[in-house]
């Protein structure tokens, strides 16, 4: 195109010999319509094909003053089109790799390698990973064509870098190596074994993660010479592949860590439950030897508290999610156990339960279990002195992010002259302490018996607690 620069149209070498192009320009001037297409021009160096666009040039008032001609070498356009196709192939490959995140590492690397071979126009390729110390290559994938042509039966998987020949130079020199004439003498060659694929051209590219080489991608036997663009294409796709591999490795490590923690938490809950059950049994045994009813009741109350905690840990031990338990199910079992352990005949208690299905954290469920144990035990001991029909009502409802727990009986009612928030009894002191611990609110209604209304949220507690 340099021979056109600085010359007038009539002075160009092809001007007198190309009547067809002149006819198109005249047509543009006559019709004021754009003309475009492909045309072959006679130049000093011979015939050459051009893509052209001829457009009318107008002044402000609409009159024409000439023609704007744009010509582009058709071969350059083909190269641009080829680059666009390569980029499109690479983009599709990256999308497919992303969608293959759940596939095995072998499937992912095999697919990526075939795409590298296609993008670079190669006939064969390989992909290997480097260890932490960068002294051992592990071959992960050979291209399909390489596997067909290779006649080596027992292909090695591990390659010490110091034993590799020319193909290991990319690691040693820490840069891409292009060999466009593999037959040419090279002191770095160590030869390849009998049955190895015959190489005409070879290129391999080290892939970095920070300053560490993590992989080596190689291709061979391209029809044309390998160029810098091939290196760029390999780097882009391989860096994307490495990001997927890193993510898979991180996810695997996280899963392993979570599994280990789950096993550990299961074991902790199991051991705590067992220890609490031992303590509960010791308290029950000690109570049997007490002559004083008052002392016996104190020990049995302590046993009830310990048992409620043991039940909570047992629920967590058997739960699918170690961070939460089904509190509704736990509450039913806790209430049944409290009734069976009480001095009252459980068959004479009219128990009415309405519980929404609720999942609670351990740090909320455990204190709530103790609170229910204290209030329900207190009702069974003091509420039904004069009651013909003994009714206990337990209600648990979730309203958006807040829970409401109601514990009610139809007994004699809580003494009006006692402030339940400030008593000298251990049970209510424990209740108020636990209410503060979980950041809950508690109200007392003494109309027609005793009714405690507790409102709380299933939130993690501050470190102060």
- Per residue in 93-119, pLDDT tens? 777 877 776 788 888 888 888 888 888
Q: Return the residue matching tokens 């007392």.
A: 444
Kindly state the DSSP code that residue 26 receives in the 8-state scheme.
H
Q: In 319-441, which residue ranges form alpha helices assigned H by DSSP?
A: 327-341, 362-382, 426-437
Q: Model confidence at 320, in pLDDT bands (50, 70, 90)?
A: low
- Tell me what the pLDDT averaged over the chain comes to: 78
Determine the angle formed by the axes of helices 228-288 and 74-99, rounding to 10 degrees: 10
DSSP 205-241: EEEEETTEEEEEEEEE--SS---HHHHHHHHHHHHHH
Query: Which of 1-10, 80-89, 216-225, 342-351 has maximum average pLDDT?
Result: 216-225
SS3 (DSSP) at 47:
strand
Average pLDDT of 203-224? Answer: 91
Closest C-alpha to 331, from 358, 305, 299, 304: 358
In terms of pTM, does the model score above 0.85?
no
pLDDT per residue as tens digits for the range 122-151? 888 889 999 999 999 988 887 777 666 655
**411, 387 Cβ separation under 8 angstroms:** yes
Q: Is the pLDDT of residue 236 over 80?
A: yes
Q: Is the pLDDT of residue 6 over 60?
A: no
Where is average pLDDT lowest: 62-66, 332-336, 445-449?
A: 62-66
**Beta strands 35-43; 46-58: pairing state:** antiparallel
Q: Model confidence at 167, in pLDDT bands (50, 70, 90)?
A: confident
Longest dimension (CA), the chain: 131
Average pLDDT of 312-327? Answer: 69
Q: Model confidence at 373, in pLDDT bands (50, 70, 90)?
A: confident
Q: Model confidence at 206, in pLDDT bands (50, 70, 90)?
A: very high
Query: Which of 185-189, 257-261, 394-398 has maximum average pLDDT?
Result: 394-398
State residue 357's pLDDT score.
Answer: 86
């Amino acid at each position: 195109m340099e021979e056109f620069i600085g010359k007038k149209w009539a002075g160009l070498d092809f001007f007198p010999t190309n009547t067809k192009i002149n006819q198109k320009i005249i047509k543009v001037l006559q019709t004021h319509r754009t003309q475009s297409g492909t045309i072959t021009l006679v130049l000093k160096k011979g015939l050459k094909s051009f893509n052209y666009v001829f457009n009318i040039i107008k002044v402000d008032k609409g009159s024409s003053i000439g023609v704007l001609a744009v010509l582009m070498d058709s071969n350059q356009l083909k190269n641009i089109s080829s680059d666009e196709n390569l980029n499109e192939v690479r983009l599709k490959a990256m999308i497919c790799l992303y969608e293959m995140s759940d596939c095995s590492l072998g499937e992912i690397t095999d697919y990526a390698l075939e795409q590298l071979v296609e993008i670079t126009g190669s006939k064969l390729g390989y992909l290997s990973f480097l260890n932490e110390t960068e002294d051992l290559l592990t071959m992960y994938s050979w291209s399909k064509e390489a596997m067909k042509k290779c006649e080596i039966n027992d292909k090695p998987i591990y390659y010490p870098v110091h034993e590799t020949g020319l193909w290991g130079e990319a690691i040693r020199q820490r840069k891409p190596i292009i060999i466009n004439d593999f037959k040419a003498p090279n002191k770095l060659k160590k030869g390849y074994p009998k049955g190895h694929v015959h190489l005409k051209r070879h290129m391999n590219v080290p892939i970095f993660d920070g300053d560490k080489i993590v992989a080596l991608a190689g291709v061979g036997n391209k029809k044309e010479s390998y160029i810098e663009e091939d290196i760029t294409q390999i780097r882009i796709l391989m860096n994307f592949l490495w990001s997927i591999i890193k993510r898979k490795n991180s996810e695997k490590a996280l899963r392993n860590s979570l599994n280990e923690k789950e096993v550990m938490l299961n074991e902790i809950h199991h051991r705590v439950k067992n220890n609490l059950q031992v303590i509960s049994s010791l308290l029950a045994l000690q109570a049997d030897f007490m002559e004083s009813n008052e002392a016996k009741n104190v020990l049995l109350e302590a046993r009830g508290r310990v048992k409620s905690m043991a039940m909570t840990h047992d629920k967590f031990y058997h739960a699918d999610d170690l961070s939460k338990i089904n509190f509704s199910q736990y509450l039913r079992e806790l209430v049944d156990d409290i009734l069976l352990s009480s001095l009252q005949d459980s068959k004479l208690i009219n128990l009415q339960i309405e519980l929404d299905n609720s999942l609670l954290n351990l740090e909320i469920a455990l204190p709530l279990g103790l609170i229910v144990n204290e209030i329900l035990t207190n009702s069974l001991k003091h509420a039904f002195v004069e009651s013909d029909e003994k009714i206990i009502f337990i209600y648990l409802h979730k309203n958006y992010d807040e829970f409401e727990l109601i514990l009610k009986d139809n007994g004699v009612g809580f003494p009006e002259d006692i402030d339940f928030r400030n008593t000298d009894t251990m049970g209510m002191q424990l209740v108020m302490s636990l209410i503060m611990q979980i950041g809950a609110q508690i109200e007392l209604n003494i109309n027609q018996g005793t009714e405690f209304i507790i409102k709380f949220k299933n939130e993690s507690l501050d470190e102060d607690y």
